[in-house]
Every structure is written in C-alpha cells, then in structure tokens.
Copies of this chain bind each other. A is one copy, B any other.
Amino acid sequence: MKVIHTADWHLGRILNGKSLLEDQAYILNRFIEAMDNEQPDVIVIAGDLYDTSYPNKDAIQLLESTIDTLNLEMGIPIIMISGNHDSKERLNYGSKWFEKSNLYIRTKLEDINIPISIGNVDFYTLPFATINETQHFLKDNTIETYQQALSKSIEYMSNNINKNNTNILIGHLTVQGGVRSESERPLSIGTVESVEADSFQQFDRVMLGHLHHPFSIDSDFISYSGSILQYSFSEVNQPKGYRIIEIKEDTIKEKFIPIAPLRQLEVIEGDYEDAIQEKLKVKGKDNYLHFKLKHMSHVSDPMVHLKQIYPNTLALTNQTFDFSAHIHQDNYEIQKLDDETIIDKFYKNITDEELTQTQSKTVAKVLNDLLEGGSE
C-alpha cells in the first residue's frame, strides 16, 4: 500500500500583507500532477488545511477544487484531520456525504477510537484539541498538559487497536525536540506543548502535522510532512514537498519528495547600494524577499526603490549599526521571546516587580483565549 503524507496547507495564508493564494494554487497543481504519477492508495492530510478559522471564499474554493480533482476525478481516498488553525465545524461541514466517496474528514474527539480501515491498515485520527476539550471529552479533570492529554487519548484508543493490523496514527501536535518555525501559531500559552515520542509506541507509524520543517524530528517511525510552502522567513531554505510511505507486509519504507514552488522565500543581506545596483546574489527576482540592508539611512522610501527591481519584496530591515544600535539589539532580542515572557519583562521594567503567580495565570489565560478565539 502506498500512502502519501502531507499537511499544513494553510490555504488563505497572507505573508506580510501578500496573499499567497496564487502560490498555493500553483503548488497544489504540482501536487495533483505528482499524485497522478504516484497513484497512491490513500492521501493523508494531517491538519491546518486553512490558515484561519474564517477562510475567504477563494481559499475555500481552492481546497474544494483540489480535493474534487484528487478524490472524485482521480478516485483517491483521502483522510484529513483539523489542525489548530482550522475551524472544526467549518472543515467538518458535509463530511457524512463525503465519506461515501472515501473522503474522510475527522475533526471530533468522538471518533478517535474508530479507525478508518483501508486494506489491513487502520488509520487512527487525532485532530487538534485543546487541553480543555480533551478534559471535557474524556471527563478527566486531572489532564493539565498536552502530554497527559495525548497519553489519555491514546489509552482511550488502545482497546480498539488490533495488533494484527498495521496501525497508523494521524495527528497535529508538537513532538519534543521538533524544529520550530515562526508560522506555526503556538498550541497554547503557559503550558509545555510538546509531547514525548515514546507516547506513540502502540503505532507502527505516526504521520504528523503542525511543524513546518519536513525533517523536524529524528525518529524511525514518526514523521512530519512539513508544510507545502515556506510560510515565514524562518523557513528559508527548508525543502517543501510530501512523503511517500510504502507498507509491504512487515516493512514500512518512506521517503520525502520535494516540489518546487512558484516563488521561494529569500533573505538578502548586504549594502543598500549593492541591492539597487543588482550586485547582491538573489536566486530569483520574483521570489519573496526579505532585505536586511546597511547604509540606507539617507534614502527616502527605500522599499519603493527595491520593489521596482524586486516586485515581491515583502520586508526590509535596516542593518546599519549606529546610535540606535542598542535599540536594534533589543528588538532582535524581543523577537526571539514568546508573548508571555515579553509581557513579564515589560511588567518588571515598569514596576520593578515580578508578576505574581495569579497574574501570570491571568496573562496566560488571556493569551490562550486569544488563540482559541481564532477558532470561533
């Protein structure tokens, strides 16, 4: 059996004000062509189909037409789960009808112990769920971490697992030690979000979404497919594509297949004058560029000049170290911190006191509400 593993499509993603829909349509067409060659038995999409819980109609139509081609026209069964960016309810709409055409959309914890069986492979689905949702579903108030939520969820599944079959888990979560990117919205604030790789021992294979790097973790049975495109400048140089998993009796082989995008993301460093005179090395003039330039303080509207040569310039940072060097340094430091620590440091700076435990909890709650508010 040939299984294709993909995830983190983030349809509707806007990067620095620029809609990536054209790039997404392009890469999905390449993906469809690849599937036409691969002729897989099933495609697994491990969450974050959309970038927001209120995708616009173009993003919705792109998903619908892509899935239409793969599932209805090419007849490939598809299993997809919701990620932390998706609205469960919206993604799930119509799923009862879709299942009749072997398009399985799983967004509910109610279904985690019911595998989708294709041949003698059982696919278990674990859509993204907050700690609260898992607490509520399992009626277990002792669940306070993502690790506990995962362990209890797998325990709940385990009675149904048939050891004679090949068992695959599809999830959307962070495994300990995974490489992070900026475009992955955190799963929660104030709680460790990563879970231990050991938790998955009952499964022959774990296909994950959430982390955007396809080689995020080092494991012989757990893998991320990575996102289909570079979605932030922290993902520059990351390969993007899909994984093929071949299951033959007792052996499972897998490999990563890259797909070239319409435009890459590039970070270009150097002197402003060199950039304008096209002396800096740029892989593609139409790529999405983040310029980090020196000696540009005398130029008014440098962005306008850069865009005349490099139309898809999305960001510009002034790298000149001058009297404001320490401010740049602070900015740089701040960019590496998480939201909670920034608030913490700000409070300390103003009041000269640490946040109390209650205050910390309140801050975490507010930040979490903001995160979850995103999914309606």
Contact = CB atoms under 8 A, between A and B. Distances in A.
A89 B96 CA distance: 20
A170 to B, nearest CB: 21
A57 B97 contact: no
A363 interface: no
Given A57-B90, A64-B94, 12 more contacts: A57-B89, A60-B89, A60-B93, A61-B89, A64-B93, A72-B96, A72-B97, A93-B93, A94-B94, A94-B97, A97-B98, A100-B100
Interface in A82-104: 87, 89-90, 93-94, 96-98, 100-101, 103
A98 B90 contact: no
A68 interface: yes
Contacts of A89: 57, 60-61
A330 interface: no
Contacts of A98: 94, 97
A94 B60 CA distance: 10
Contacts of A61: 89
A218 interface: no
* Category for how many chain A residues contact B: 10 to 19
A376 interface: yes
Contacts of A60: 89-90, 93
The 8 closest A-B pairs by CB, nearest first: A94-B94, A57-B89, A97-B97, A97-B98, A97-B101, A68-B96, A72-B96, A57-B376
A32 to B, nearest CB: 16
A103 B94 CA distance: 11
A336 to B, nearest CB: 37
A296 B232 CA distance: 63
A103 B97 contact: yes
A58 to B, nearest CB: 9
Interface in A50-83: 57, 60-61, 64, 68, 72
Interface string A33-65: 000000000000000000000000100110010
Nearest to A60: B93
Interface string A91-121: 0011011101101000000000000000000
A91 to B, nearest CB: 11
A230 B134 CA distance: 41
A90 B60 CA distance: 9
A61 B87 CA distance: 13
A250 B97 CA distance: 36
A93 B96 contact: no
A97 B97 CA distance: 6
25 contacts: A57-B87, A57-B89, A57-B90, A57-B376, A60-B89, A60-B90, A60-B93, A61-B89, A64-B93, A64-B94, A68-B96, A72-B96, A72-B97, A93-B93, A93-B94, A94-B94, A94-B97, A94-B98, A97-B97, A97-B98, A97-B100, A97-B101, A97-B103, A100-B100, A100-B101
Contacts of A96: 68, 72
Nearest to A63: B93
Contacts of A101: 97, 100
Most chain B C-beta atoms within 10 Å of own C-beta, residue among A61, A89, A94, A98 = A94
A363 B90 CA distance: 37
A269 B192 CA distance: 62
A101 B96 CA distance: 10
A52 B97 CA distance: 24
